Copies of this chain bind each other. A is one copy, B any other.
Amino acid sequence: MSPITSGRPAKPATILDVAAAAGVSRQTVTRAMNGMPGIKESTRERVQELARELGYTPSRFAKGLVQGSRTSVGLAIPDLTNPYFPAFASSVVELATRRGWQIVVDDYGHGGRSGLDAVDHLAPHVDAVIGYLGGYADQAQAALGRRPLIVLDEIPGGAAGSINFDYNQAAKLAVDHLRHTNRVRIAYLDACESRHPGLTPENQDPMVPSRVGGSGLCTVRGKAVADRLDQIRTPWSLITAEETAGAARVAAGALFQDRPETDGVLVFNDLMAAGVLKAAADAGLRVPEDCAVVGMDGIPLGELLTPELSTLALDLREVGRAAVELLDGLLAGAIAPGSDAARLTLEHRLVLRESA
């Protein structure tokens, strides 16, 4: 008679049921279950055995209520399907687990949900949130009240903490490398309908250069790339696609057809760059001889592609570590919410493999 097949599924057993069955008090059961001293060993064993038989599981709610909050952290992720995010999440989960925190995860990439929806869903169950929210920092922090929110890759707004990336530095690295290798017809493939931080109307640049179909520049990454390209007076074109490899492949295919003179492509992220590599192969272009391709993110996937992808790489484990340590400081009171110490900026480095 296993504990699984026996019981009435009705009411779960409480500590009182175990106490009654063992003929002892609540407190003795507590002592037995939690390895506390002041209990005879034979009693402890008897109680534990009985608890097992009754299928007793201590209520996490009662326990939390009396012992004070264990730390539970929400993790809001736009899309687990993009390898960037699991790599980041993996690091966060590892370090959080090491601290004894639990991670409650929400992938809001389905069903038209937003980063704010994710935070709303997580809020009742967590003491803090870390997440790529795509532009809801203020509202999300409001939903969390005093509990710290750490936003990544987004204007911090009212968020307690933030981790950002220096896209100007990154864009300079990539653009200058393309120019130094004599690429003169450069294209930038931006993500559209992006969950990534948008440009606000006031800092959106109406003077974007010529483009090949699609809508305008819509990400801060794109803005940084555009700025750098303009700065060094290089002619360039803009294309956009949804943030998937497939969409990027189609868009880049059109680019290579419309503008065969293109000899360098900068791409919003590595996943889309993989699509561009495919499109180049489709078009019979040799990479990097005919056209260089540079991605962004530094996901492990890049090394497996053919040719291996050159990219503006982030150390994703480092990003996760920064987020967790920042949250740690915030929770411990060592870092003041919204202070400069709570605003981190990380840099990309240019990893040259085969594609550029």
Q: Which residues of A contact B (CB under 8 A)?
A: 2-5, 7, 9, 12, 52, 55-65, 69-70, 72, 75, 79-81, 83, 85-87, 89-90, 93-94, 97-98, 102-107, 109-111, 121-122, 124-125, 141-142, 144-147, 158, 160, 245, 274-275, 277-278, 281, 300-301, 303-306, 333, 336-338
Partner of A106, one of B97, B277, B301: B97
* Beta-carbon nearest neighbor of A246 in chain B: B303
Bound together, the chains give a CA A62 to CA B79 distance in angstroms of: 32
Tell whether, in the assembled complex, residue A147 and residue B90 are in contact, meaning their CB atoms are under 8 Å apart: no
Partner of A306, one of B59, B94, B306, B336: B306
Tell whether, in the assembled complex, residue B65 and residue A93 are in contact, meaning their CB atoms are under 8 Å apart: no
Q: Find chain B residues with CB under 8 A from A333 CB.
A: 9
Bound together, the chains give a CA A160 to CA B3 distance in angstroms of: 11
Partner of A109, one of B90, B124, B146: B90
Tell whether, in the assembled complex, residue B80 and residue A107 are in contact, meaning their CB atoms are under 8 Å apart: no
Bound together, the chains give a CA A93 to CA B144 distance in angstroms of: 21
Cβ distance A103 to chain B, nearest Cβ, rounded Å? 5
With A55-B145, A61-B62 given, name 5 new contacts (CB 8 A). Answer: A56-B145, A81-B90, A94-B110, A102-B125, A104-B104
Partner of A304, one of B109, B158, B245: B245
Partner of A80, one of B81, B90, B122: B90
* Beta-carbon nearest neighbor of A10 in chain B: B333
Q: Find chain B residues with CB under 8 A from A65 CB.
A: 59, 61-62, 65
Tell whether, in the assembled complex, residue B86 and residue A106 are in contact, meaning their CB atoms are under 8 Å apart: no
Bound together, the chains give a CA A53 to CA B4 distance in angstroms of: 48
Q: Say yes or no: A5-B97 contact (C-beta < 8 A), given A57-B147, A80-B89, A146-B57.
A: no
Q: Find chain B residues with CB under 8 A from A301 CB.
A: 83, 301, 304
Tell whether, in the assembled complex, residue A3 and residue B61 are in contact, meaning their CB atoms are under 8 Å apart: no
Bound together, the chains give a CA A103 to CA B79 distance in angstroms of: 15
Q: Find chain B residues with CB under 8 A from A58 CB.
A: 124
Partner of A278, one of B90, B106, B158, B304: B304
Q: Find chain B residues with CB under 8 A from A64 CB.
A: 60-61, 64
Cβ distance A128 to chain B, nearest Cβ, rounded Å? 11
Tell whether, in the assembled complex, residue A98 and residue B80 are in contact, meaning their CB atoms are under 8 Å apart: no
Cβ distance A85 to chain B, nearest Cβ, rounded Å? 8
What are 19 inter-chain pairs, A to B, with CB distance below 8 A? Answer: A5-B337, A58-B124, A59-B65, A60-B61, A61-B61, A64-B64, A65-B65, A72-B104, A80-B89, A81-B87, A83-B83, A90-B109, A93-B106, A94-B107, A94-B109, A97-B110, A274-B304, A277-B304, A278-B306
